[in-house]
A = this chain, B = another copy of it.
Amino acid sequence: MAAVTLNVSTLKPLGDRVLVKIAQQDEKTAGGIFLPDTAKEKPQVGEVVAVGPGKRNDEGKLIPMELKAGDRVLYSKYAGTEVKLGSDEYVLLAERDILAIVQ
């Protein structure tokens, strides 16, 4: 089997998981989101880069996802698994751990 490269385009979340690119917290804009100047603790924000097919319920039925690639989101900092790909940091988390969309 040919080798593949682990990067953001080859990583496909499973179940109801979402792959989020973590916004750099030291910039004025975080992942395309302008952060308010006065915030002391900057919120955990990022951009969805891939979503899983959804969770199967106990009957095997697929519950579709609400989120899609491109959504900017606010998420709980205690959730998910961080993955570093090149110089960027990502987090894989369940859709229920995404708190809000930034529209």
Inter-subunit contact A99/B14 (CB<8 Å): yes
Given A6-B35, A39-B84: A58 in contact with B57 (beta carbons within 8 A): yes
Q: Return A84 CB to nearest CB of chain B, in Å.
A: 5
Inter-subunit contact B100/A19 (CB<8 Å): yes
Inter-subunit contact B100/A36 (CB<8 Å): no
Residues in B whose Cβ lies below 8 Å from that of A19: 100
B3, B32, B33, B86: the one contacting A32 at CB < 8 Å is B3
Q: Is A24 an interface residue (CB 8 A)?
A: no
Q: Which 8 A-B pairs have the closest CB atoms?
A: A5-B34, A60-B63, A3-B32, A12-B101, A36-B86, A39-B84, A92-B99, A6-B33
